[in-house]
Amino acid sequence: MESLKNLDPIPRLQVALDLERLDDALKLASKVAPYIDILEAGTPLIKSEGIKAVRILKETYPDKLICADLKIADAGYLEVHMAAKANADIVTVLADAYNITIEETLRAADEFKVEIMADLIMSRRPKKRLEEIKTLNYKGRRLSYALVHSGLDRQESRHSPLSELKSLADVYNCPKLAIAGGIKLNDIPKIKPYTIDIIIIGGAITKSENPTKVAKQIKEAILKN
């Protein structure tokens, strides 16, 4: 199908800093930053260190986009406002949050000039939910991204987000797609045929013995024709 062909620019690489200590996250970021487009303050990091983790990542890497992985379930405006004050560029909301919550994140996004990513991690019927939320807006501002996501616990059962990618990639006029969940170097060629804007990788980089080498290899695989 034409909509499945990757006609967009080369996907950007995001690293998920799902660590408990900010010092560890900064140390890891220093090793991989040359190959990364987006640094993610992971949910565990924000819960452990607070929203300051977002601010310090941005202060340390002003040339990188910073994603605040809040996985907002309620208080959409307030939580986006908090992330925006900490200089986040992208903020995540659960795709299965109430529509009004998503609309409130969009209201804040319009006011504070950030992008909203709807995370489908909890969706039992992700394609149906994506069809429902793709038209939500505030003054015309819509979701910037939809994240195809297999969560950490679900990965234990060997579930891969690649199994859902094909059905979601042909949703007409949907937000830009991102993908996350146990992705490794050898998965990149399987992703590239699809129109994916952001590839998010956590453990394959952050838990490797040589994160610099792995980040470089993944970036080169993304750039390879």
- Calpha distance 129→138 (Å, rounded): 18
Domain at 198, CATH number:
3.20.20.70
The string of pLDDT tens digits covering residues 83-119 is 999 999 999 999 999 999 999 999 999 999 999 999 9
- For residues 49-80, one letter each, b for 16 or more C-beta atoms within 10 angstroms of the residue's C-beta and e for the rest, the string is bebebbbbbbeebeebbbbbbbbbeeebbebb
The string of pLDDT tens digits covering residues 122-140 is 899 999 999 999 999 999 9
pLDDT band for 146, please (50, 70, 90 cuts): very high
Q: How many percent of the chain have pLDDT more than 90? A: 86
Angle (CA) 212-218-221 rounded to 5° is 140
Domain containing 21 equals 2-223
Which run of H or E residues covers position 50?
none
Checking if the pLDDT of 77 tops 80, the result is yes
- Calpha distance 97→73 (Å, rounded): 5
The string of pLDDT tens digits covering residues 4-32 is 444 457 999 999 999 999 999 999 999 99
Q: Which of 187, 191, 196 is nearest to 214 (CA)?
A: 187
Task: Provide the number of structural domains found in the chain.
Answer: 1
What is residue 151's predicted lDDT score, i.e. its pLDDT?
Answer: 66
Polymer length of the chain: 225
Strands, E assignment, 76-190: 90-94, 115-119, 137-138, 141-142, 145-149, 176-180
- Residue whose structure tokens are 């996250």: 25
Residue 68 phi, psi dihedral angles, 5° rounding: -95, 105
List C-alpha distances in Å: 163 to 179, 187, 211.
Answer: 11, 12, 27
pTM of the model: 0.94
